[in-house]
């Protein structure tokens, strides 16, 4: 894995000489050093002040995303111990416990369907598709709780452009990994696996749509969808499919797990919308983890400026 934990970084990793060797190494270093430096914090304890300052200032300009919110991030503890990952159990604390030994080595993601250049990507190849950015996004679960997470990744459009979708491709289907031996708790989850999701191609191409490979300066914890997941911040959290193994471009609208389970409750679009209630609860308000009082839920989770045009002329009560 190219993203190492801060504790694995050595003095050599943060020396400027290494950073300047050539462009490729430079980009790799951004993934390794920059992400950690930006998320801040622990790297400063590891290196002499001069090197640290240089590494941090070198990388910060390049890696900070203009799409980041300035809202207060939730704690790492919250985001890694209050999860929905039904393959590892339906309790909020189950994934942190049950995904500990999830084996994500030798991971491959197959990109196929209506594309000119279908191919399989290793994780090392995925990490080199585009420079890694830190993006602090709001995440709103359909269950009416929300978190703010400093993700690491890059716009999914970078991957799309590499494989060159054909004229037929109007949707993208996503599949999660599933192995009942590694995920025995999935048998009692009450939904079908592998977990599947989908986007319209124009939604997938929106720069906000993130291919996520890390959070809080480190690679993704298993319970948050290691080693690679989608993050679509203006849609309910269940669209942000974890532990991706297949991406397929196609002309038909793909089936989605929660729509298959309860079609009257969960639609294909699932844009965050305070004006369209879930049949069993209101979506007007949400509880930010760690806060006592509920806050108003924003249309498109507050990302309307970037995405509202995708749905111009569509009745969002009908296309929920």
Ligand X SMILES: Nc1nc2c(c(=O)[nH]1)N[C@H]1C(S)=C(S)[C@@H](COP(=O)(O)O)O[C@H]1N2
Using CB under 5 A as the binding rule, whether residue 141 contacts Mo ion is answered as yes
Distance separating alpha carbons of residues 320 and 129, to the nearest angstrom: 33
CA atoms of 174 and 253, how far apart (whole Å):
12
Q: How many CB atoms lie within 10 A of CB 314?
A: 11
Using CA atoms, how far apart are residues 123 and 33, in angstroms rounded to an integer? 18
Site membership for Mo ion, residue 233 (CB under 5 A): no
Residue 151: φ, ψ to 5°: -80, 165
Among residues 240 and 250, whose Cβ is nearest to Mo ion? 240
- Residues near ligand X (CB under 6 A) are 79, 83-87, 141, 176, 195, 224-225, 237-238, 240-243
Nearer to ligand X, 219 or 240 (CB): 240
169 binds, among Mo ion, ligand X, none (CB under 5 to 8 A by kind): none
**Residue 139 CB, nearest approach to Mo ion (Å):** 8
Cα separation, 211 vs 52, whole angstroms: 28
Minimum distance from CB of 141 to Mo ion (Å)? 3
Helix segments in the chain, DSSP class H? 16-19, 23-29, 35-39, 49-63, 76-81, 94-98, 123-127, 157-163, 201-205, 257-261, 304-307
In the bound complex, which residue of the shown chain has the CB atom lying closest to ligand X? 237
If binding means CB under 5 A, how many residues of this protein chain bind Mo ion?
Answer: 4
Q: Residue 73 Cβ, how far from ligand X at the closest point, in Å?
A: 13
241 binds, among Mo ion, ligand X, none (CB under 5 to 8 A by kind): ligand X
Binding-site partner at residue 87 among ligand X, Mo ion, none, CB < 5 to 8 Å by type: ligand X
Q: Is 55 exposed, middle or buried (0-12, 13-18, 19+ CB in 10 A)?
A: buried
Backbone region of residue 290 per phi and psi (left: phi > 0; alpha: psi in -120 to 50; beta: other values): left
When the beta carbons of 28 and 185 are compared against ligand X, the nearer one is 185
Compute the distance between CA of residue 148 and CA of residue 27 in angstroms, rounded to an integer: 27
Could you tell me which of 280, 244, 223, 239 has the C-alpha nearest to residue 153?
244
- Is residue 266 within the footprint of Mo ion (CB under 5 A)? no
Q: Six-digit token pair at 289?
A: 């983890």
Phi first, then psi: give them for residue 290, nearest 5 degrees: 95, -10
Distance in Å, CB of 195 to ligand X, minimum:
3
Task: Give yes or no for residue 82 binding Mo ion (CB under 5 A).
Answer: no
Q: Does 237 bind Mo ion (CB under 5 A)?
A: yes
CB of 26 to ligand X, least distance (A): 30
Q: Which is nearer to Mo ion, 58 or 239 (CB)?
A: 239
Closer to Mo ion by CB, 36 or 223: give it: 223
d(C-alpha 225, C-alpha 306), whole Å: 25
The residue among 154 and 238 lying less far from Mo ion, judged by its C-beta, is 238
Q: How far is the CB of 205 from ligand X (least distance, A)?
A: 21
List the one residue from 238, 268, 269, 303 that touches Mo ion (CB under 5 A).
238
290: how many CB neighbours lie within 10 A of its CB? Answer: 13
Whichever of 38 and 141 has its CB closer to Mo ion, that residue is: 141
Q: How far is the CB of 190 from ligand X (least distance, A)?
A: 11
Q: Which residues of this chain interact with Mo ion, rule CB under 5 A?
A: 84, 141, 237-238
């Amino acid at each position: 894995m190219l993203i190492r934990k801060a504790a694995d970084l050595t003095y050599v990793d943060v020396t400027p000489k290494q950073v300047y060797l050539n462009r490729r190494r430079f980009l790799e270093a951004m993934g390794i050093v920059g992400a950690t430096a930006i998320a801040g914090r622990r790297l400063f304890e590891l290196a002499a002040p001069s090197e640290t300052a240089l590494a941090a200032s070198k990388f910060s300009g390049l890696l900070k995303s203009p799409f980041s919110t300035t809202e207060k991030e939730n704690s790492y503890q919250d985001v890694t111990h209050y999860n929905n990952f039904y393959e590892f159990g339906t309790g909020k604390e189950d994934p942190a416990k049950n995904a500990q030994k999830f084996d994500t080595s030798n991971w491959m993601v197959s990109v196929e369907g209506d594309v000119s250049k279908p191919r399989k990507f290793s994780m090392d190849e995925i990490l080199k598709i585009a420079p890694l950015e830190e993006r602090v996004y709001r995440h709103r679960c359909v269950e009416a709780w929300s978190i703010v997470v400093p993700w690491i990744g890059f716009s999914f459009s970078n991957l799309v452009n590499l494989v060159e979708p054909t004229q037929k491709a109007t949707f993208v289907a996503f599949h999660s990994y599933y192995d009942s031996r590694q995920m025995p708790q999935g048998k009692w989850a009450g939904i079908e696996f592998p977990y599947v999701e989908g986007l319209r191609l124009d939604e997938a191409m929106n720069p906000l749509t993130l291919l996520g490979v890390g959070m809080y300066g480190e690679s993704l914890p298993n319970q948050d969808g290691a080693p690679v997941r989608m993050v679509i911040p203006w849609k309910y959290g269940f669209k942000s499919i974890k532990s991706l193994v297949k991406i397929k471009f196609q002309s038909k609208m793909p089936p989605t797990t929660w729509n298959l389970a309860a079609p009257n409750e969960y639609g294909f679009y699932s844009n965050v919308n305070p004006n369209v209630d879930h049949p069993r609860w209101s979506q007007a308000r949400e509880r930010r983890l760690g806060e006592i009082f509920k806050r108003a839920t924003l249309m498109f989770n507050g990302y309307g400026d970037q995405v509202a045009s995708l749905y111009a002329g569509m009745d969002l009560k009908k296309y929920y």
